[in-house]
Structure 1
Amino acid sequence: MKKNRLSSSLQTGLNTQMTQEALAAQIYLSYAAWATSEGFSGIANFLFRHANEERNHMMKFLEYIMERGAKAEIEAIPKPPKDPTSIQNCFEQIFQQEIGNTAGIYKLVKMSFDEGDWATWHFLQWFVKEQTEEETLALNLLDKIKVAGGEKATSEALYNLDRDLQKEPDEAALAETKSAANP
């Protein structure tokens, strides 16, 4: 009896995305270690929390693949890129990494739609919303860094940013939650 409910292309794609989520966790972890070494404990705390979040995303893919009767393939995780050169560079790289994750999710959404795999399409909708949130959060942080002076931010501005990120929510408010009464 065939138990695998995923096409071979979706099985491969979901496994690839699972590895991409693991890499994202490693990037956040690596950048958190860098931020700690640079004395930015608030930024490091924020990045450590996001490393855990990305690992949870990886686990969602792992569980889904197995629930659908397919084989989860655990692959080697590529080494994270070099340490950032600045706080601005750190969040620019994070934003680019999130754009890459979004592209992978969108590819899977299209593939599941084209194949009529509605269970997988439905599963991926959570990730579509999550990636919108992740990109919005990264853009908001880049805006804050720009206001603080960007690459020329003063020590005081970076200190304040570090302090703010210690308690920054891990989620961004999305447009879908807004209304005329609650802009």
Structure 2
Amino acid sequence: MVIDEHLGELLNTQINKELYSAYLYLTFADYYEERGLKGYANWYMVQVEEEVAHAKILRRYLLDNNYPVKMLGIEQPTMAFDSDIAPLKAGLEHEHYITSCINDCYAAAVATKDYRTMKLLDWYISEQGEEEINAEDMIKDYELFGGSPDGLFSLDTKYAARTFVAPTKAM
């Protein structure tokens, strides 16, 4: 199969965006680690692994379809946080952005009638739905329970239990 050049560039750029997401979530984990919230730090470290896995799936897809992969530079995250909820809100905003980027890739696949790529991107669309729900739930949990030391401790303990599960093949 030959991937349309514009679509291929969008997918290649999406690899970079997934790796940037991992880099961004590392800064979230560092923030929480420094605050002594090791459960929140763990939750974002698992998120880092997920984002790297997403990038690897796209890379493999391009290689399997004879499209050259270009590894682009990863921008440095510059966010600074003044509260424990700030990374959570930044995470939701970032997931909305990534969803819009996946939607752009999908639109390009539709425009070129690239049904195989649409099938791949169907998985990413579902995954982004889960990512947004998780981010929204973390914000709601924090707003409901994070205002007291006991509530924050309980949430931190909950997030410490999260483990990475490698995604099954996206297609």
TM-score by length of 2: 0.91
2:169 alignment counterpart? none
Correspondence 1:163 to 2:157: yes
Offset, 1:154: 2.5
**Residue 148 (structure 2) aligned to one of 146, 154, 157:** 154
1:134 alignment counterpart? 131
Query: Which structure's relative contact order is higher, taking Cα pairs within 8 Å and 6+ residues apart?
Result: 2
Percentage of matched positions with identical amino acids: 23
The 2-side partners of 1:162 and 1:84 are apart by 18
1:16 alignment counterpart? 13
2:102 alignment counterpart? 105
1:80 alignment counterpart? 77
2:168 alignment counterpart? none
Query: Which runs of 5 or more residues in structure 1 are unaligned?
Result: 172-183
Secondary structure in structure 2 of the residue aligned to 1:77 = coil
Name segments (4+ residues, structure 1) moved above 6 Å: none
- Contact 1:148/1:157 (CA < 8 Å) preserved in 2? yes
Deviations 1:20-56 (A, max 9, x none): 0000000111111111111001111111011001000
Deviations 1:80-138 (A, max 9, x none): 13232222111000001111110000111111011101111111111000000000010
TM-score by length of 1: 0.85
- Contact 2:50/2:164 (CA < 8 Å) preserved in 1? no
- Contact 1:30/1:83 (CA < 8 Å) preserved in 2? no
Q: CA RMSD, aligned part only? A: 1.6
The 2-side partners of 1:9 and 1:85 are apart by 40
